Structure formats: structure tokens, C-alpha cells
């Protein structure tokens, strides 16, 4: 029996800051001290506080060590594990309160979270099925198979109010009932793990930290609609997720929790992985299934909807990873438990990947209806460097931005749509006053132009033209008429594109136009970029009253654009200036400004 | 092929180990002094005996943790037991054999073993 467990994050974030080496060092040091039968080292999934990785928690004390280095390991082992003295200087400082050490759940980052889909992430070793089973794993499948009819399973999911977490927000139980209503025969259960939005890593973290929950939920879905085969379409760029999923599938097979006659019933179910090559369009359901079939990942018109005619022409349900991660909990705890969380039309919790200009970059799960202010300011720790919050971007290239005046809006599907954004899969990128909103719209359009599959004209050509218009604006060559034309084109693409990618591609433009029209006008009329981002519109100048003639700027300028004598005011030759900003960074007297 | 009973067995066997991974402020807390003085007097054997005995008896609402030196070096190994109602008992000069009785009578039976306590010295 171990007296202590040391949990080390093995998610992608912490792995990239060498948590693997930390685990090795820990094991070596523990052995050297003869503690290997007393202390167990456990590699877990993501704890959420990625900004402070690599992360390590020592139980039973619950000591949360952050930004651990390999060099710190001997001290932690000797002091904490051997002598019982917590190494305070290495603890996450939010948990240190004078002489006391606070519980992690009392820190601002965790206090308002409600980890449901992420419940096992950072708790269990995702590569050990026994640990998943100990956390009531496969109990929901057992309950469904032995105590419930397929209709009851669907009714339970319907009653819970669970909606698709991939972004669309379609009621999951209703989707299942469509596929269940199709005549008996071959049907498929698919999982969309093709998370492609820039800045989103919710699904990856669930797959890395708790892969069995997805398998179990897919088996439950298979039972509900009458399918014996599941496919997980996962990005090949998620190597850790792919590896742990395969381990999980193999272990579940070994235990008979996947395969023939599960729990001795006549229900059989198998799951296979299909690796995506990283095309954004393959996150769209029809393109995803086309890709699984071995064809080029292109969407097709709907109807017929996948529930009627999906993968290989058979009735298919396709749900997102996070949606599946809620299913077992609903079956075990009941629909009422789930619907007690959230808002009237959006039940349960939502996982968000916090990124951009925010202190606590990481993964958070909050009840629906939590305000953006709570997420950004309390959980996320606010904007770094004393800068002002400008907007948050949700929904990636399909979504929009939420400006500061809507910080107090309770986040759910319908509220976000009402202000011209969308939930998306949960990427939440925070922007401060140094972000140019036209530039952001341009960034997302560059992405969609790249990722458009080219099948339909509105998307293939429309997004390209849209991007050209945005470039014209950021270069200072646009007229007010261009803005009107651009807006018209946005609506045209939305109405006419074939699939979700094209239909939502103009959203970043429309929502920035809606909330930050003055910035667009400044670019067009005044030929200025208020945030100082768009290079073509920038002018660097030296204030002769402040310049002391130290020559630092002239020496750092890569293009020889600054001239002047020592101890005399310098000047910038705007024709030669490439607007790199190196001079401004170097000046100690604040004499250089841009605008 | 696993049956429901097999699943339950795996759950029960693994659950106990995973109980360690929560903060459980409402548990009975057993803190064993593990400073140099304690280790020299055999505190690690005492600590591990507590862990093993509690596992053997399947007592779920108990947390065994460590603490530094509380100044009673000549009475080591020392352990503090704090029950849910906040009552603290300090045991001194512990041995693995004494631990068996403490777990039996105090942790499981809610009756402190008076003769092993610091108070018994007076």
C-alpha cells in the first residue's frame, strides 16, 4: 500500500516542458531513498493550469508544485516525501497564505470551476484501465446494458438537455433518436476529435487525460441507436492522444468491455481509430465521414443528414469528444443532476481553452451561464502587464468577438449567438488594447482561405476576395465603399457556402465590424491603425525635445534609417524605415513614438 | 470476459489507492512526525504500518500524512490523531505493534489508547 501519490501532468503542455524527464528523475530519486514501496509516481492528464507547467501534486497533502524543474526533484523527494516538510518555495504561490497552505480548490483558478467532463483529468493515470474503473468507469455502460432499454438511454440524454459541445449546440438526445428511428441494420457511432480551431485544446486534453470515458460513452451510444461499430476521427498531430486512445481500446478489449457480448449481454461493440491529416474542413461532419471512407475530405450537401445516411451510406451519429465526456455522468447521476447545472437552454458545464493575453493560460470547466468576466478576470487571472481587456474571441475562425461592454454576459449557446459570436468548441482567446481588430479578422480569414477545400465557389473565391479587401484596409488603400462591399460579400458567403466552414467564415469580419467599426473607419479614413499593429499605417518618429543623441537607436536600426550626430537629436528617414520597432524598444528616454 | 462482479472487484481493489488523491479535510487525520529525530527512532516503519493497517481494515475516511518535528525528539516516533470533531491526541514512542492497537481502538473504535499518549507520561 502506497502512503503517498505524486501526480505529474503528462498532458501535451507539461510534456513539452519536459514533465517526462521529471517523472524519470522522481522515480530515480525515490528509489535512491528507498521509498519506492511507499510513494507512487502517477502520470496523469491535464490539470488545467498549463501556464504554470510542469505541474505536480503530492497527495495526501495535496501540495501543488508548479513550474517544477528536474533540479528541484532531489529537494522535493528528500524534504517532502522523506521528511514530511513541504517545500514552500516551489508551491504554486496562490496556495501559500503566510504560514498556511490553502487547498487548491480555494484558489481563484479552481474555486469557480466544476470539473465534470474533465473530472478524471489530472486524477487518474489514463493508461491504466483499473484506475478508470475505480472512478466508476464502465459502470454507466453496465447500467445502460443491464438496467435500461435503448429508448430509456435516449430519453435520459434528451431529458438532461445536453447539447453538442463541438459548437453547433444541437440536442444530443434528439440526434440519437433520429438514428435510432432508422430501420435495423448496420449503423455507426462516430467521434469527432478533429479539433482544429487555432488555440483550442479541450478535446485533446480529454483524450489524453481520460480516453476511456469517450470509449464508454460511444458504446452507450451504440447500444442506444443499435450500432456495433464506432470510429474516432482524431488528428494525427495529437500523438499523445492517439497513443493513449489505442492503449485504452486495447485494454478495454482485454477486459471484454469492448468486443463481443459485453457483460454477457447480446450487445457487441468495437471502436477503431482513424487519423486525420489536419484539414480544418474535416471537422465538418459530412467531410469527416467522407474522409473516414478513404476519400478526399470534402463536405456534401445536407439533407440527407448523417442520422439517415451517413458513414458508408448508413445511419450514423457523430458527436464531439466533450459531448461524449458528459454521457457516462448523465447515465450514472441522472438527467436531473446534469440539468441542475447551467442556464435554461444550455445545461451542464463547458470546457474552455484560455489563451492569448491572459495570465492563467490553460483549461477550465465552468457551469454554463458563468460570465465572461468571471472566466477572464477571476479564473484566468486577468490581462497581464496591466493592459486593458479589449475583447475575447470565441469559436475560432467560425466565431466572433465579445467586447468589453459584454463582459457580464452569462455564457451559453443562445447568448453568444445573440451578440453575433458563437460558443464554438471552446477556444477563448483574450485580446488586449494592443490588438488590432482588423488584423485579427485578417488572421482568421487567412486561416479559412488556407483551409477552404475549394468545392464550392462562395467559400473558395469568396473568402479569398474577403481577405484581399481586409488587406486593402490594413494597407491603407481602401475606401468607405470597400467596407460596404465587404459587408455585402460576408452575407453572400454566409448564405451560399456549402458547409459550416464557409457559412461561418465571415463571422470574424462581421463581428469585428459590428463592435469595432470605428477601428475599420480609422484605417480607411485616417489611414491610422489605433492599436499600432498594421505596419503600412505606422509612422515612427523621434521627439527632438526628448532625444539626447545617445545613438542607441541608430545603432540598432537594421536598415540604417536613423541619422544624427552624437548628443544631438536624431531623425528617422520614413522612406527607409521598415517599421520593425527595434529603435523604440531600445530608446531609454521615451523619445520614439509610433502612430 | 468481465462480468459485473469482476468489474466491481477491480473497482473495490483500486478505489482504496485512489482515495489518496483527494483533499479530504473531513477525514480523520493521522500525522506522523517524520523529521530526522523521528526517522532515526523508526517513524517510517510506524508511518507505513498506519497506511497498511488502515488499508487492511478498509477504513475509508482516514488520511495518513506526515509532519515535521514538534519538539518531542526524545519521545519519537510521535503521531497526532485528529478526529472529525477536532479532538487531537498525541501518541509517543510508537512502534508498529502499538499502531495496530491505535488503528483498532482509536481510528476504528473511536476510543483513544490512553497509555500510549503524551498525557500518560504525567
- Residue B86 has a pLDDT of 85
Helix (H, G, I), strand (E, B) or coil at A119: coil
Q: How far is B118 from chain A (nearest CA, A)?
A: 21
- Residue A334 has a pLDDT of 97
- Residue B84 has a pLDDT of 85
Average pLDDT over residues A373-392: 95
- Residue A85 has a pLDDT of 87
Query: CB A3 to CB B47 under 8 A?
Result: yes
Average pLDDT over residues A329-333: 97
Instruction: Give residue-wise pLDDT tens across range A227-257.
Output: 999 999 999 999 999 999 999 999 999 999 9
Residue A365, Ramachandran bin (φ over 0: left; ψ between -120 and 50: alpha; else beta):
beta
Burial of B60 (0-12, 13-18, 19+ CB in 10 A): exposed
- Is residue A581's pLDDT more than 70? yes
H helices of A419-477, in order, are: 437-451, 457-474
Cα separation of A564 and A139, whole Å? 77
Tell me the fold of A539-594.
Alpha-Beta Plaits (3.30.70)
- Residue A395 has a pLDDT of 87
A122, containing H or E segment: none
Tell me the fold of A437-524.
de novo design (two linked rop proteins) (1.20.1440)
Helix (H, G, I), strand (E, B) or coil at A564: coil
What residue ranges do the domains of chain B occupy? 24-121
Is the Cβ of B55 closer than 8 Å to some Cβ of chain A? yes
- Is residue A116's pLDDT more than 60? yes
Query: CB B14 to CB A7 under 8 A?
Result: no
- Residue B122 has a pLDDT of 61
The CATH number corresponding to A349-432 among 3.40.50.2300, 3.40.309.10, 3.10.20.600, 3.40.50.1950 equals: 3.10.20.600
Residue A105 has its nearest CB partner, among B3, B18, B23, at B23
Cα separation of A81 and A21, whole Å? 19
- Rounded percentage of chain A residues whose pLDDT exceeds 70: 100
Average pLDDT, rounded, for chain A: 94
Residue B34 has its nearest CB partner, among A84, A105, A139, at A84
Query: CB A5 to CB B21 under 8 A?
Result: yes
Average pLDDT over residues A378-397: 93
Closest chain A residue by Cα to residue B7: A133
Chain B residues within an 8 Å CB radius of A130: 10, 13-14
Query: CB B48 to CB A59 under 8 A?
Result: no
Instruction: Give residue-wise pLDDT tens across range A404-453.
Output: 999 999 999 999 888 878 888 899 999 999 999 999 999 999 999 999 99
pLDDT band at A560 (very low <50, low <70, confident <90, very high): very high
- Is residue A285's pLDDT more than 70? yes
Name which of A134, A138, A144, A261 to mutate to probe chain B: the one with the most chain B Cβ atoms within 10 A of its Cβ.
A134
Q: How many CB pairs under 8 A join A and B?
A: 93
Identify the CATH number of the domain defined by range A4-109. Answer: 3.40.30.10
Chain B residues within an 8 Å CB radius of A5: 17, 20-21
Nearest CA among A223, A28, A16 for reference residue A140? A223
Residue A84 has its nearest CB partner, among B2, B14, B68, at B68
A295, containing H or E segment: none
A148, containing H or E segment: none
pLDDT band at A495 (very low <50, low <70, confident <90, very high): very high
Architecture of domain A129-339: 3-Layer(aba) Sandwich (3.40)
Cα separation of A251 and A490, whole Å? 49
Is the Cβ of B118 closer than 8 Å to some Cβ of chain A? no
Residue in the structure block whose three cell numbers are 545617445? A550
Nearest CA among A378, A400, A373 for reference residue A389? A373
Q: How far is B93 from chain A (nearest CA, A)?
A: 18
Asked whether A230 and A271 are in contact (CB, 8 A), the reply is: yes
What residue ranges do the domains of chain A occupy? 4-109, 129-339, 349-432, 437-524, 539-594
Nearest CA among A201, A212, A193, A237 for reference residue A11? A201
Residue A131 has its nearest CB partner, among B1, B18, B51, at B18
Query: CB A60 to CB B63 under 8 A?
Result: yes
Domains A129-339 and A349-432 share a fold: no
Closest chain A residue by Cα to residue B50: A3
User: What are the two backbone dihedrals, phi and then psi, of residue A477, each rounded to the nearest 5 degrees?
Assistant: -105, 10
Interface confidence, given as ipTM, is: 0.89
Architecture of domain B24-121: 3-Layer(aba) Sandwich (3.40)
Instruction: Give residue-wise pLDDT tens across range B64-100.
Output: 988 888 888 888 899 999 988 888 999 999 999 999 9
- Residue A145 has a pLDDT of 97
Helix (H, G, I), strand (E, B) or coil at B37: helix
Instruction: Give residue-wise pLDDT tens across range A177-232.
Output: 999 999 999 999 999 999 988 889 999 999 999 999 999 999 999 999 999 999 99
- Residue A256 has a pLDDT of 95
Closest chain B residue by Cα to residue A103: B23
Nearest CA among A65, A66, A72 for reference residue A21? A72
Is the Cβ of B122 closer than 8 Å to some Cβ of chain A? no
- Residue A42 has a pLDDT of 95
- Residue B1 has a pLDDT of 52
Name which of A33, A43, A59 to mutate to probe chain B: the one with the most chain B Cβ atoms within 10 A of its Cβ.
A59
Is the Cβ of B51 closer than 8 Å to some Cβ of chain A? yes
Instruction: Give residue-wise pLDDT tens across range B22-48.
Output: 877 788 999 999 888 888 899 999 999
Asked whether A173 and A160 are in contact (CB, 8 A), the reply is: yes
Instruction: Give residue-wise pLDDT tens across range A10-45.
Output: 999 999 999 999 999 999 999 999 999 999 999 999
- Is residue A343's pLDDT more than 90? yes
- Is residue A344's pLDDT more than 80? yes
> Strands A4-9, A316-320: parallel, antiparallel or unpaired by DSSP?
unpaired
Cα separation of A63 and A86, whole Å? 7
Cα separation of A325 and A408, whole Å? 28
Instruction: Give residue-wise pLDDT tens across range A68-85.
Output: 999 999 999 999 998 888
- Is residue A120's pLDDT more than 80? yes
Cα separation of A551 and B119, whole Å? 78
User: What are the two backbone dihedrals, phi and then psi, of residue A397, each rounded to the nearest 5 degrees?
Assistant: -70, -10
User: Cα dist. A198→A235, A257, A278, A448 in Å?
Assistant: 14, 35, 12, 11
Amino acid at each position: 500500500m502506497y502512503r503517498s501519490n505524486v501526480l505529474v501532468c503528462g498532458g501535451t503542455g507539461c510534456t513539452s516542458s519536459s514533465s517526462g524527464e521529471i517523472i524519470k528523475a522522481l522515480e530515480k530519486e525515490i528509489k535512491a531513498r528507498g521509498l519506492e514501496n511507499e510513494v507512487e509516481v502517477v502520470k496523469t492528464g491535464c490539470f488545467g493550469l498549463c501556464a504554470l507547467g510542469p505541474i505536480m501534486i503530492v497527495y495526501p497533502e495535496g501540495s501543488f508544485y508548479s513550474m517544477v524543474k528536474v533540479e528541484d526533484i532531489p529537494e522535493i523527494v528528500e524534504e517532502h516525501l522523506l521528511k514530511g516538510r513541504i517545500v514552500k518555495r516551489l508551491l504554486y504561490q496562490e496556495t501559500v497564505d503566510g504560514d498556511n497552505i490553502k487547498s487548491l480548490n480555494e484558489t481563484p483558478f479552481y474555486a469557480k470551476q466544476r470539473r465534470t467532463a474533465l473530472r478524471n483529468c489530472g486524477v487518474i493515470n489514463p493508461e491504466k484501465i483499473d484506475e478508470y474503473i475505480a472512478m466508476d468507469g464502465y459502470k454507466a455502460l453496465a447500467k445502460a446494458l443491464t438496467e435500461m432499454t435503448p429508448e430509456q438511454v435516449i430519453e435520459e440524454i434528451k431529458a438532461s438537455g445536453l447539447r453538442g459541445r463541438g459548437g453547433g449546440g444541437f440536442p444530443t438526445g434528439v440526434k440519437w433518436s433520429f438514428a435510432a428511428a432508422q430501420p435495423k441494420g448496420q449503423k455507426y457511432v462516430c467521434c469527432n476529435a478533429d479539433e482544429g480551431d487555432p488555440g483550442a485544446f479541450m478535446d485533446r486534453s480529454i483524450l489524453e487525460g481520460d480516453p476511456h470515458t469517450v470509449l464508454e460513452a460511444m458504446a452507450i451510444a451504440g447500444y442506444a441507436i443499435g450500432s456495433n461499430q464506432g470510429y474516432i476521427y482524431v488528428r494525427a498531430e495529437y500523438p499523445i492522444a492517439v497513443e493513449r486512445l489505442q492503449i485504452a481500446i486495447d485494454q478495454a478489449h482485454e477486459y471484454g468491455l469492448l468486443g463481443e457480448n459485453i457483460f454477457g449481454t447480446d450487445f457487441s461493440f468495437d471502436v477503431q481509430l482513424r487519423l486525420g491529416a489536419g484539414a480544418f474542413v474535416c471537422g465538418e461532419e459530412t467531410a469527416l465521414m467522407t474522409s473516414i471512407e478513404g476519400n478526399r475530405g470534402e463536405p456534401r450537401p445536407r439533407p440527407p443528414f448523417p442520422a439517415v445516411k451517413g458513414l458508408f451510406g448508413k445511419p450514423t451519429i457523430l458527436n464531439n469528444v466533450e459531448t461524449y465526456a458528459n454521457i457516462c455522468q448523465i447515465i450514472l447521476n441522472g438527467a436531473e443532476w446534469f440539468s441542475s447545472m447551467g442556464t435554461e437552454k444550455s445545461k451542464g458545464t463547458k470546457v474552455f481553452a484560455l489563451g492569448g493575453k491572459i495570465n492563467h493560460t490553460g483549461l477550465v470547466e465552468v457551469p454554463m451561464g458563468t460570465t465572461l468576466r468571471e472566466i477572464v478576470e477571476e479564473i484566468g487571472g486577468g490581462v497581464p502587464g496591466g493592459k486593458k481587456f479589449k475583447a475575447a474571441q470565441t469559436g475560432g475562425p467560425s466565431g466572433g468577438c465579445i467586447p468589453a461592454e459584454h463582459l457580464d454576459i452569462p455564457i451559453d449557446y443562445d447568448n453568444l449567438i445573440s451578440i453575433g459570436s458563437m460558443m464554438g468548441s471552446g477556444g477563448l482567446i483574450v485580446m488586449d488594447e494592443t490588438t488590432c481588430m482588423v488584423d485579427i479578422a485578417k488572421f482568421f480569414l487567412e486561416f479559412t482561405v488556407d483551409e477552404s477545400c475549394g468545392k464550392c465557389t462562395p467559400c473558395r473565391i469568396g473568402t479569398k476576395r474577403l481577405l484581399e479587401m481586409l488587406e486593402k484596409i490594413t494597407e491603407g488603400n481602401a475606401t468607405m465603399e470597400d467596407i460596404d462591399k465587404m459587408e455585402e460579400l460576408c452575407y453572400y458567403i454566409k448564405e451560399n457556402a456549402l458547409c459550416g466552414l464557409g457559412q461561418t467564415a465571415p463571422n470574424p469580419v462581421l463581428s469585428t465590424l459590428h463592435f469595432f467599426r470605428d477601428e475599420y473607419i480609422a484605417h480607411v479614413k485616417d489611414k491610422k491603425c489605433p492599436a499600432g499593429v498594421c505596419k503600412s499605417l505606422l509612422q515612427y518618429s523621434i521627439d527632438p525635445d526628448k532625444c539626447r543623441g545617445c545613438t542607441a537607436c541608430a545603432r540598432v536600426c537594421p536598415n540604417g534609417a536613423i541619422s544624427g550626430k552624437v548628443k544631438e537629436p536624431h531623425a528617422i528617414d520614413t522612406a527607409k524605415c521598415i517599421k520593425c520597432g527595434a529603435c523604440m524598444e531600445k530608446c531609454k528616454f521615451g523619445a520614439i513614438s509610433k502612430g | 470476459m468481465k462480468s459485473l462482479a469482476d468489474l466491481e472487484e477491480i473497482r473495490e481493489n483500486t478505489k482504496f489507492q485512489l482515495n489518496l488523491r483527494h483533499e479530504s479535510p473531513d477525514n480523520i487525520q493521522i500525522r506522523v512526525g517524520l523529521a530526522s529525530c523521528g526517522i532515526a527512532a523508526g517513524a517510517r516503519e510506524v508511518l507505513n504500518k498506519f497506511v497498511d493497517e488502515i488499508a487492511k481494515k478498509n477504513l475509508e475516511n482516514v488520511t495518513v500524512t506526515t509532519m515535521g518535528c514538534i519538539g518531542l525528539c526524545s519521545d519519537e516516533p510521535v503521531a497526532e490523531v485528529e478526529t472529525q470533531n477536532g479532538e487531537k491526541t498525541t501518541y509517543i514512542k510508537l512502534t508498529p505493534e502499538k499502531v495496530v492497537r491505535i488503528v483498532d481502538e482509536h481510528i476504528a473504535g473511536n476510543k483513544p489508547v490512553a497509555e500510549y499518549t503524551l498525557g500518560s507520561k504525567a
